[in-house]
Amino acid sequence: LCGDWQMQVPFPFSLLCLQVIKCKAAVMWEANKPFSIEEVEVAPPKAHEVRIKIVATGICRTDDHVVTGGMVMPFPIILGHEAAGVVESVGQGVTSVKPGDKVIPLFVPQCGECRSCLSTKSNLCSKNKIVSAAGLMSDGTTRFTCKGKAIHHFIGTSTFTEYTVVHESAVAKIDSAAPLEKVCLIGCGFSTGYGAAVQTAKVEPGSTCAVFGLGGVGLSVVMGCKAAGASRIIAVDINSDKFAKAKELGATDCINPKDFKKPIHEVLIEMTGEGVDYSFEVIGRIETMTAALACCQYDCGVSIIVGVPPAAQKVTFDPMLLFTGRTWKGSVFGGWKSKDSVPKLVADYMKKKFVLDPLITHTLPFIKINEGFELLRTGK
């Protein structure tokens, strides 16, 4: 509230002064360098924007793709996109959330007006920033500055900071009782993997599935396949240390490609007779994308690309793999319409319809973010 003042007005009136907030953020100044913990200035939200105090944020491979140059974004930048927090302030015209609300930022927004949002077949809102490398808010400017320099946003969220600003279409209000340090995973990893199975692939009871990659998203795919009633879930990873967790969450078989002299898709076809009904590539590598497609049943198998494809690389494959009837699909954020679905997923978690704790391997203070990324890169 801006000071002590009085006005003669015919209706109740208050004037809120939104201030620039100074806080800590992990700034990525250039590729292939460590994150730098800096003091940044976070501008007030403009019209239809929301400023959020971030309480918990997860580390995702997609963030690391930017660090290594696999996903091209402008620098300097504040990464992070899997988080939960509390609304600190709102800009003019915001109606869906208010200060004090618990929320999850949405890297796939839902404007409710574009063709994708109005369609029952898609979820990739036209306001999404995933395919745009601008790193700016919708008005073409940024809300972050550091040492006098403008800092770019990351896919409309930027959660590696104590405070961030997002568009109203990119934030979902959730249950006030939800534990933010758990449900932050619904902001990306869990929803992306679980939804790839139950929403995008629509895995059927009794079906066979293969999941390539057993990070947090891959394990969430395993959970989705199990929830959908798959009779066999084959987990594939070159790190056998991940197999125990995969079996805990529903995998029936675990195989390491390094243990075989033949291509992994041939191994999977031999294991299942004619190939799996559904396969999921949850790594982001060209070789595993084509292997996942090839291991599907030849005339009705469905393969889902979940891992973010590497920049500037092209896929080469035998078109006969598709000609015989296989389906190759992509899945962003598990196919969920974010603003509608995230509150429901949080509600399902609160009702114990699924678990999140097994996906959390470490909890670190924010200043140890570089240690967190080393744990990611070493498969821990």
**pLDDT for the residue 153:** 97
Q: CA geometry: angle at 32 spanning 28 and 38, to 5°?
A: 25
Q: Which domains does the chain have, with CATH numbers?
A: 21-189+336-378 (3.90.180.10), 202-330 (3.40.50.720)
pLDDT tens track for 157-169:
999 999 999 999 9
Question: With bands split at pLDDT 50, 70 and 90, how would you rate the model's confidence at 332?
Answer: very high
* Cis amide linkage into residue 257, ω under 30° from 0: no
Question: With bands split at pLDDT 50, 70 and 90, how would you rate the model's confidence at 131?
Answer: low
pLDDT tens track for 28-74:
999 999 999 999 999 999 999 999 999 999 999 999 999 998 889 99
pLDDT tens track for 264-273:
999 999 999 9
pLDDT tens track for 1-17:
233 333 333 333 333 55
Whether the predicted pLDDT of 328 surpasses 50: yes
**pLDDT for the residue 373:** 97
pLDDT tens track for 349-367:
999 999 999 999 999 999 9
**What residues contact residue 280 under an 8 Å CB cut-off, 6+ apart?**
196, 197, 201, 209, 210, 211, 212, 218, 221, 292, 303, 304, 306
